[in-house]
């Protein structure tokens, strides 16, 4: 067994304990709170704990940076049109790896490691509140989305506190 397998093996072993305490739940595919949360994949964000959510209450859509990528928009369209979500929360966070990322340097590192040129874009940004505003603007202008409510927040990874950012402009 390699070191890389250890976390997966531990997760699979933990699953047996989880199943024993989980019980059988027949939850609806529609989130009970009609809420979709777009956020970062960062492992420091415990959104169920921070937002007081339980299983079956919200869709959590995650990617690097919590950005409004094409796949996030696809997921939100399905969430709203097929599964009844009416509210969207955008949550980005302090100390994000995309904040101030030198994309050119990362592409060079990828090319050096793989021998293949990379044209990938990663979504780096300089100002967190402005990044939330631009993410909200992209979602707000998507014709396939019909948000009844769209609000944005910065999650402080040190304290767990949310600070709302005005994205109405």
The CATH code of the domain that includes 89 is 3.40.1050.10
- Residue 6 located in a structural domain: no
In tens, the pLDDT along 121-165 reads: 999 999 999 999 999 999 999 999 986 799 999 999 999 999 999
Whether 151 contacts 89, CB under 8 Å:
yes
* Residue 49 maps to a domain: yes
Task: Round to whole Å and give the CA distance between 38 and 28.
Answer: 20
In a domain? residue 23:
no
Judge whether 21 lies within some domain. Answer: no
**Whole domain around residue 142: which residue ranges?**
28-165
pTM for this model (two decimals): 0.90
């Amino acid at each position: 067994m390699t070191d890389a397998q250890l976390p997966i093996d531990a997760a699979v072993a933990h699953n047996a304990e989880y199943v024993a305490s989980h019980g059988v739940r027949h939850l609806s595919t529609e989130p009970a709170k009609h809420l979709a949360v777009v956020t970062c994949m960062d492992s420091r964000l415990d959104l169920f704990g921070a937002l007081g959510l339980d299983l079956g209450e919200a869709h959590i859509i995650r990617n690097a940076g919590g950005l409004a990528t094409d796949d996030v928009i696809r997921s939100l369209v399905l969430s709203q049109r097929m599964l009844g979500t009416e509210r969207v929360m955008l949550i980005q966070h302090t100390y994000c790896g995309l904040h101030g990322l030198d994309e050119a340097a990362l592409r060079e590192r990828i090319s050096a490691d793989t021998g293949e040129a990379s044209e990938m874009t990663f979504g780096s940004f300089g100002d967190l509140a402005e990044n939330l505003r631009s993410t909200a603007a992209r979602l707000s202008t998507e014709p396939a989305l019909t948000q009844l409510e769209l609000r944005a927040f910065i999650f402080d990874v040190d304290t767990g506190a949310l600070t709302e950012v005005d994205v109405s402009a």
